Amino acid sequence: MGYVAVKGGSEAIENAKHLVEFYRLREETSPITIAQLKSQFRLAIDKIMGEGSFYAPEYGALALKQVEGDILEAAFVMRAYRATLSRNYYSEPISTENMFIERKISSSFRDIPGGQILGPTRDYTQRMLQVELATEGDEEMKKFLTTFKKDIGSADKEEIKTFTKVIDLLRNQGLLKGVGNDEDTSIVDVTRVAIKYPAPRSARLQMLARAETGGIMALGYSSMRGHGSVHPTVVLL
């Protein structure tokens, strides 16, 4: 898709900006607070931070409010703001086997180390519209939280354990090759260095992590269905 020059200059751009702000505020409803967005739109905030490569929940909520809920646009806003900041800290690599497990499922294998842990998900629920949320108030919220905390308090406590990853089992059985060449051990920060092709593995993984979620899912499923009668297996890396 190409673009053509637009006449009007800075004045037209400023007028367009004011018009967008008018559409956001014209109904004169109470402004949504950043705290509300941060706590009640956590999945949208997580997606914005992931695609924006910038972990900052408050700024993610602010970007979501600024663009009226357009997650794709909010991710662009986050990327632009991140580019203006200095790099003060670097993440250390961690062993994912030692992470606290809140959700762990496998679509390919029924019996996985530790079993299937559904966690907080709507994947296995009916997609029925909850019309009662239209009249949800503080009383309903407090009632649910009180009941939930009571049920959690009375549940049997189990020792927190760590579990072997499925991909390790495949490697141990010789079904999957490991990585370990010089290219795979080099770390390239795609937010600081221009990409040069062929890109190393670290750069490819970063670009996949920052990509628009829906687009990556479409590409992934299209690729899987392109193998004919041999359906590939999806495992958690």
Q: How much is the pLDDT for 157? A: 67
Whether cis (ω within 30° of 0) applies to the bond prior to 93 is: no
Mean pLDDT of 201-205: 86
Q: How much is the pLDDT for 234? A: 59
Q: Is the pLDDT of residue 165 over 50?
A: yes
Of 74-78, 168-172, 191-195, highest mean pLDDT? 74-78
Average pLDDT of the residues of the chain: 83
Q: How much is the pLDDT for 214? A: 85
Mean pLDDT of 62-66: 96
Higher pLDDT, 114 or 7: 114
Q: Is the pLDDT of residue 237 over 50?
A: no
Mean pLDDT of 116-145: 88
Tens digit of pLDDT for each residue in 97-112?
Answer: 777 778 888 877 788 8
- Pick from 45, 83, 73: nearest CA to 61: 45
Higher pLDDT, 180 or 183: 180
Higher pLDDT, 218 or 63: 63
Mean pLDDT of 206-221: 84
Q: How much is the pLDDT for 179? A: 64
Q: Is the pLDDT of residue 5 over 80?
A: no
Contact between residue 56 and residue 79 where contact means Cβ atoms under 8 Å apart:
no
Q: How far is CA 236 from CA 42, 141, 155, in A?
A: 23, 35, 30
Q: How much is the pLDDT for 59? A: 96
The region of weakest confidence among 18-22, 85-89, 151-155 is 151-155
Q: Is the pLDDT of residue 236 over 50?
A: no
Mean pLDDT of 78-94: 85
Question: Angle 119-51-16 (CA atoms, 0-180°, nearest 5)?
Answer: 125
> Can you tell me the distance from the alpha carbon of 72 to that of 67, in angstroms, rounded to the nearest whole number?
9
Q: Is the pLDDT of residue 122 over 50?
A: yes
Domain edges within the chain? 9-82, 101-154, 179-227
Q: Which two tokens stand for residue 58?
A: 């408050």
